[in-house]
Chains A and B, each alone.
Chain A
Amino acid sequence: MAVFNYNKVALENLKIEDTSVLDRLVNFESALQAHKKKEHAKVDKRMTLKEAIATFISDGDVISDSGFSYVRTPHQAHWEIMRQEKKNLQMIGAPNTNQSFMIFNNNVNLSHNSYAGVEMRGIDRNYDRMLKTGRTKILSEWSHGGVALGYKAAQLGTPGVFSKQMLGSDIMKYNPYLNVVQNPMRSDPDPVVFIPALYPDVAIVHCQLADKYGNAYIYGPTVNDVAAAAAARKLIITAEEIVPESDIRNRQGTIIPFFYADAVVELPFGAVPGNMPGYYYWSRQWWEKLIRFGCVNDENLKIFFDEWVYGVKDQFDFVNKLGGSRWIAEARMQTKAAEGDHEDIDFSYEEYTRTHDSGLYY
């Protein structure tokens, strides 16, 4: 049985006494067993989102976040986790911040952080509040590149990688998984950080196309998703469209192989209200409303989620609230223009502010 050597300074600084809570993320043997036990035969793995979340996410699991900054992020799956009231989840907030909302809804209470915020829309005041009121506890601090290397090490089939990232910073004092060692290849002083291979319990990857077996095609930035999919004990693929296997075989691009996948969910609008390359642009006003109204205090956030998560049945309902087919047409046109050649499309919109709510989400 693996016995882990955690960074003692970090354990002390983070006041972590029972280290067993840290083990699953770096427990190669248990990930290996999980990968061996998966269905290796090429079988139809389609199911509904409800079934996939109910079957493959258990209370206490370590969940990874995929996509980048509200691009191709599986928001609708996250909200199904919220609706199913999963408990005691650990979440890796890299490279997104969506754990913040699951903390508020008592689904997540342990955080691995590399970023929490909405870029230029500012800091996430909800995460700030959740941390200060003890509703989540930090298990580890990272840089984006540190987490990316941890997943990559797992995908590469190695116990970990040596890095020059995070050296000398205070991140090292708040990450039990990281230790500084001497580069064994050199005899002159050369400190390096050992980043262990990271094995989340669950990865949920939203992609453009998948076949029923779980071969999943990603277009646009893949970020960490292929590595996290390879590492995770359980992989849920949600896809804008389910296509025949021949369609996947005829494509070139990034494919997650079917044998990583445990569940395949046909989920049009699965990344709404984020951006889905090839399909739809952000609902920018929705995010502004979340950050500028919702995140301000607990009361507002409850109103916001009662309306947008608990008040909707599914993503189709959600899209109807955003403006229905009009929203779809606008959002599709905008992402195509952003990716391609529609020079006359204007990206201006009516920004949501606390004194101005146009009620429009496109």
Chain B
Amino acid sequence: MKDLSAPANPLETLAYILSKQIRDHQIVYIGTGIPMIAGILALKTHAPNITMVYESGGQDPIPRDLPWSVGCPFTWRKSPAVMEMSYSFAQCYNGYVDIAFLGFAQVDMYGNVNTHQIGKDVLHPTVRMTGSGGNNDLASLSDNLILVGVQTPDKFVEKVDFITSVGYLTGGNSRKEAGLIGDGPKVVISQCGEFDFEPVTKRMRVKTLAPGWTFDFTQQFTGFELLKPEGEIPQTPLIPDDILKLLRTEVDPRGVFTTMPTA
């Protein structure tokens, strides 16, 4: 059984920081995993009036248990509308989606995302992963994009092995020049804290650090040189006890997404 009084683990911290990106009354595009937890946590705390939308088509479902898949009935439970997939992505293009979350296997200093493979050769990768799914569609079309994942030097790399989804491409204006709409990723969230992108170079920069993390220590978890903001780095908000309890008892009681993997 779960120890309800144990300190928050990194995945629970991630879910909380992610949920804090959501403001009430927003339309939120949700993918599998931690974003689902964050959406439901936001709904049960500071943002009870958000509308969740899913790529499989569910619009404004009434959530219940955690979806087992993006196509699971919980993603379209009692939805007034269930849309075809092409239309579901089109809502981002057309400006109806206020915030979207994406995961990654690798992210680089310009916020480009890889969910395709480890290794550079597409025909002979070291490990083939899932490919895009809807990752590229959301990254290409969304205005307010939040990237989320666990941080290690292998995952935060100087150059991703395959650009599944464009962040700021090679920095500067290169995203706009490639023809993409939307402003590119706003924030990257990991267990170390929050990162934004320096406005001119579009390089990843520390925004806040989670309790216990210093800039130098975070740098050691990063495969490229992080930019340091001016002045003192604010602390990432700590998950309050009552919200942690809610997360463990009501949002993810079986720890489907917030249990740390074991060997």
Residues of A within 8 A of B (CB): 13-15, 67-71, 93, 95, 113-117, 119-120, 123-124, 127-128, 131-132, 138, 141-146, 148-149, 151-152, 164-171, 174, 180, 189-192, 220-224, 226-227, 275, 277, 281-282, 284, 335, 338-340, 347-348
Contact = CB atoms under 8 A, between A and B. Distances in A.
A132 B125 CA distance: 7
A348 B166 contact: no
Contacts of B254: 348
A164 B179 contact: yes
Contact of A128 (B56, B70, B127, B137): B127
Interface string B80-124: 001011100100010000000000000000000000100000111
A127 B128 contact: yes
25 contacts: A15-B123, A68-B85, A115-B133, A116-B130, A116-B131, A131-B123, A131-B125, A138-B122, A142-B132, A144-B85, A145-B89, A145-B137, A164-B140, A164-B180, A165-B89, A166-B140, A169-B136, A170-B164, A221-B58, A222-B82, A223-B85, A224-B84, A275-B73, A340-B78, A347-B65
Contact of A148 (B84, B135, B141): B84
Contact of B140 (A148, A165, A174): A165
Interface of B: 32-33, 55-58, 64-65, 68-74, 76-78, 82, 84-86, 89, 93, 116, 122-125, 127-137, 140-141, 162-166, 169, 174-175, 177-181, 254, 256-257
Contact of A144 (B58, B69, B133, B256): B133
Contacts of B256: 120
A68 B71 CA distance: 6
A180 B174 CA distance: 16
Contacts of B165: 169
B166 A168 contact: yes
A119 B85 contact: no
Contact of B163 (A143, A168, A348): A168
Contacts of A335: 73
Nearest to B54: A221
B15 to A, nearest CB: 14
Contact of B85 (A145, A171, A340): A145
Contacts of A166: 136, 140
A127 B128 CA distance: 8
Nearest to A339: B73
Contact of B57 (A124, A152, A222, A340): A222
A275 B85 contact: no
Contacts of B76: 220-221, 339
B73 A277 contact: yes
Nearest to A137: B123
Nearest to A281: B73
A168 B175 contact: yes
Nearest to B136: A143
Nearest to A15: B123
Given A141-B131, A143-B134, A148-B89, A69 B69 contact: yes
Given A68-B70, A71-B69, A339-B73, A168 B84 contact: no
Interface centre among A14, A93, A117, A192 (most CB of B within 10 A): A117
B84 A227 contact: yes
Closest 10 CB pairs of A and B: A191-B179, A168-B178, A145-B137, A68-B71, A338-B73, A71-B71, A117-B130, A143-B136, A148-B86, A221-B57
Contacts of A128: 125, 127-129
A227 B85 CA distance: 10
Contact of B82 (A114, A145, A149, A220): A220
A222 B71 CA distance: 10
Given A168-B178, A223-B84, 17 more contacts: A93-B131, A113-B131, A115-B130, A119-B32, A141-B131, A144-B132, A145-B134, A164-B93, A165-B137, A220-B73, A220-B76, A221-B71, A221-B76, A221-B85, A222-B84, A275-B72, A338-B65
B134 A144 contact: yes
Contact of B166 (A15, A93, A167): A167
Contact of B128 (A131, A189, A339): A131
A302 B85 CA distance: 34
